[in-house]
Structure 1
Amino acid sequence: MKFKPGSPANRPGRPLLRAALGLLTAAVVALPFTVAWHYDAARRAVAEQAAPPASGAVGARAGVGATLTNNSARPLPAGPRAAAAGQVQRLEVTRDTTPAGLLRELARWTPVAPSDADRPLSHPEHWQTTGDTGRAGPGALTGEIRPPDGTDYVSAAYRPLATADWHTYRLRATVNGLHGTSSGVGITVRAGSEHPVALSVGHHTASLTTSGPKGTGDRRTCRLAPAAEHRITVSVTARRVRVSIDGEPCTSVRAGRWRAAEGAGGFSLSARNERAGQGWPRFTSLKVE
């Protein structure tokens, strides 16, 4: 069949439009199967979570199913953490979803391993400023962007959906620009879990604080050789978080009597500056292992 020049079927852009609509239709058709597969994986993870761990932890969630939701208070993509919470966050596709937008969201949701993260500060698109989904990037934490006047705290999370089930990884960071007690930097591991652990590093002190559903828990500190720059290593496993600074052991905390998946999560960074006109502390390097 031949079409005359200028006919509706032969207008410029029509093949591209048909291809785009075809991709969107295929995605809409395929997505329920993808979600169902992840949901089934989450249900299997629920069963695994029901088995008592070797450490003798209590509170097994035997027989608890996982429900699907479009929104959750914290990232809960299909996986062990969502299974432990009994709720699975799903990616919603509506009539306003474009093929490009869907692909971007799928990339944002796709799990990554710690070995794939490598040097996160080199990829500003992978960061989400805490509390403001409209802004992204670690610029305020690396000194590339100066926070607005009146700001004394900034933070950003690294790929919160893609790292939701991380449980064993190591962070190596270098920070500088620390001044007395008026400024500092923070690294939160197990971010987005029910049991995050927050490290705060200043000019001459560091502290490690645990949190849980009932609020702030244990807090441990260590003294540092006074310096504007420190090298930080945070090692995370399912049962312990260890911190060393400038090559020396600082402190560590053990996991409580809760299931490993309840403490799964990636990390976020923060910086604090309580003195106007003073330079902000910044992360000059960050590597994930």
Structure 2
Amino acid sequence: MALRRKRREPVGIVVHDHGHGPEPCFRDDYAEKAGHDRSRGRGHGWGRGWTQWPVRALLGALTLSVVVVSGAAGIERYLSLKYMTPQAPLAHANITMSDQISWARRGQGLPDHAPPVVLTFHDVNRHSKSPYVLTPQAFDAQLTALEQAGYRTLSAKQFTNYMNGGPVPRRSVLITFDDGTDGLWKYADRILAKHKMHGTISLITGSMDKHRPYYLTWREIERMHRSGRWDFQSHTRAMHGMKQVDATGNTGAPLVNRLWLKDEGRRENPTEYRTRVVHDLAGSVKDITGHGMPAPSMFAIPFSDGPGQQDADSTDSQARHLLKELFPIVMTDHSSVPLTASRRSAAEGLVQRVEVVARTTPAQMLDRIGQNVQVSPDVRRPLSERENWGGRQTRTSFEVFLGKAPSSPLTPRYAKADYRPNSSVDWTDYRATALIGSLGNGTNQAALGVRTNSKEPMTVVLTRGRATLLADGYKVASQPLDPKSDHAVTVEVRRDTTTAHIDGRVKLSYASDKPSEQLSGGITIRSGINKDGNQWPVFRSLDISPLKGAESHG
């Protein structure tokens, strides 16, 4: 087959498009016609001439946008894989009907409106041997128990509103977690959502995005915040670890200790200590607000139930003064004075929480909450409520107050008990009436105390022939009594005045100069003998009632 030769145009001819399709053009005329084409804006094919730059710009922009979108999607996927732990399937506890009935009964008899109780959980995780970590099923059971007992949960804003003087909420708890562990996103978040409840996490902000997968990431925190189920508070930026405090190598909590400066062979001076602590605390606030969340109003003390930190709740400690500069409310699991959430604790700026750990059953949790719910000073026959008497009773049972003296020679000569010490923090404007008997000839004594755990507790001490009024342990009044074995005592507690009437004739009174918000508190009974074998005094009766015209609790 003959090959077809390619047609060649004459040497002086070129094929050119002047805007009307390809046409032959003498080479000598090409330059001139092409120049005319350019001057008229006529393109050399599609996308040339006056349209070429807009078209090219559009094509470039489209190409760039595809690249950017693809790249951004790729980056987002990478960051999500790195900084977002997949959430585990929702866990369900195995709860029986008898469990639900038992939990509901534990809520009966408690006030419908009362200051909230603050709970401390630590972590939720499936595979942990820590005594502080709950399994997802255990956490689900605890929240179910709260629902059955009639509790709701508060947000940090709602809780702070009450502490700032707002109205007393319905029966409620504030659920808090310390540290900011990843199990709260992986397991607890969906369980919280299931129960339509709210949680508050105090973050060690310097540990977020680090030590994966133990701690949360800021991406997870931001997602949790946007859900509306979580609030975030401060647990320091980097003071959650024991540090060297002296030359011998002893360690302590950096919040309350001046640290050892190894390179300089000395401890921090007070100014250096203050600068370090303030820098850390302010940094934790900046970390939280820098990720689009409100500035924290609460601070959870690190190691608040452990060694090296017991004085962090002391009103005289420098740490407390520094904390109060940044945080209106300080949370602790250990306190020398059990100030659960109340008007009194709001004035102090310190709240003691109820801790829930792995071994805590839902029933035990509810019982402990009930012991911390603020109740009104209106109690008939509290001596019959032996489960509600706490405080120090060294090697004695409550029976010693009821005339059943211990027989062991090792029994001490003094006994003391507080009535609902955590639930009577706000008591004021009330009356306590007691009949005390079996008082001997000066060899035994009994006492009725009021304003328990306040800044100035008051005590009426009775012997067979004398009544003495003590203010914070110091005698402020004393009068003789008719010498007899039984005496009736009535103590009236008003905002700043304490008045005792004995047998309707003897009156002892004292007016405090301390702020009234520091003087509220409940009831204490005491008994003592001077030598072994003596008759112990007997509390034959005790009643507590609000004074006429007193405001209701809350």
TM band (smaller chain): 0.7 to 0.9
Q: Distance in 2 between matches of 1:196 and 1:190?
A: 5
Report 1:94-133 matches (<5 A).
94-115=357-378, 117-130=379-392
What code does the residue aligned with 1:182 have?
Answer: T
Stretches of structure 1 that go unaligned for 5 or more consecutive residues are 1-12, 46-60
C-alpha contact (below 8 Å) 2:443/2:534 kept by paired residues = no
Q: Distance in 2 between matches of 1:31 and 1:97?
A: 20
Q: Distance in 2 between matches of 1:282 and 1:164?
A: 26
Report the TM-score, using the length of structure 1 for normalisation. Answer: 0.78
Q: Distance in 2 between matches of 1:261 and 1:175?
A: 30
C-alpha contact (below 8 Å) 2:444/2:535 kept by paired residues = no
What code does the residue aligned with 2:413 have?
Answer: D
Q: Distance in 1 between matches of 2:396 and 2:340?
A: 20
The answer for the alignment partner of 1:44 in structure 2 is: 165
Higher relative contact order (CA 8 A, sep 6+): 1
C-alpha contact (below 8 Å) 2:396/2:415 kept by paired residues = no
Residue 162 of structure 2 aligns to a residue whose secondary structure is helix
Report 1:272-287 matches (<5 A).
272-287=528-543
Structure 1 residues 236, 199: closer, same or farther in 2, change over 3 A? same
- Once the two structures are overlaid, the 10-residue window that deviates more, 199-208 or 30-39, is 30-39
Residue 244 of structure 1 aligns to a residue whose secondary structure is strand
Residue 96 of structure 2 aligns to a residue whose secondary structure is helix
Q: Distance in 2 between matches of 1:125 and 1:106?
A: 14
C-alpha contact (below 8 Å) 2:393/2:415 kept by paired residues = no
Deviation at residue 15 of structure 1 after TM alignment? 4.8
Deviation at residue 78 of structure 1 after TM alignment? 0.7
Q: Distance in 2 between matches of 1:164 and 1:255?
A: 18
Please, which of 329, 333, 336 is the counterpart of residue 66 of structure 1?
A: 329
Please, which of 73, 77, 86 is the counterpart of residue 340 of structure 2?
A: 77
The answer for the alignment partner of 1:24 in structure 2 is: 142
The answer for the alignment partner of 1:144 in structure 2 is: 404
Report the TM-score, using the length of structure 2 for normalisation. Answer: 0.42
Corresponding pairs, count? 254
Residue 44 of structure 1 aligns to a residue whose secondary structure is coil
Structure 1 residues 174, 206: closer, same or farther in 2, change over 3 A? same
Structure 1 residues 280, 18: closer, same or farther in 2, change over 3 A? closer
Structure 1 residues 32, 72: closer, same or farther in 2, change over 3 A? farther
The answer for the alignment partner of 2:446 in structure 1 is: 185
Structure 1 residues 71, 38: closer, same or farther in 2, change over 3 A? farther
Larger radius of gyration: 2
Deviation at residue 172 of structure 1 after TM alignment? 0.8
Deviation at residue 179 of structure 1 after TM alignment? 1.2
C-alpha contact (below 8 Å) 2:334/2:352 kept by paired residues = yes
C-alpha contact (below 8 Å) 1:121/1:138 kept by paired residues = no
Deviation at residue 96 of structure 1 after TM alignment? 2.4
Q: Distance in 2 between matches of 1:191 and 1:227?
A: 28
Q: Distance in 2 between matches of 1:96 and 1:17?
A: 22
Q: CA RMSD in A?
A: 3.0
1:88 lines up with 2:209 in the alignment: no
Deviation at residue 171 of structure 1 after TM alignment? 0.8
Residue 106 of structure 1 aligns to a residue whose secondary structure is helix
The answer for the alignment partner of 1:231 in structure 2 is: 488
Please, which of 494, 507, 511 is the counterpart of residue 254 of structure 1?
A: 511
Residues 192-213 of structure 1 show CA distances to partners (whole Å, capped at 9, x for unaligned) of: 11110111000000100112xx
What code does the residue aligned with 1:94 have?
Answer: V
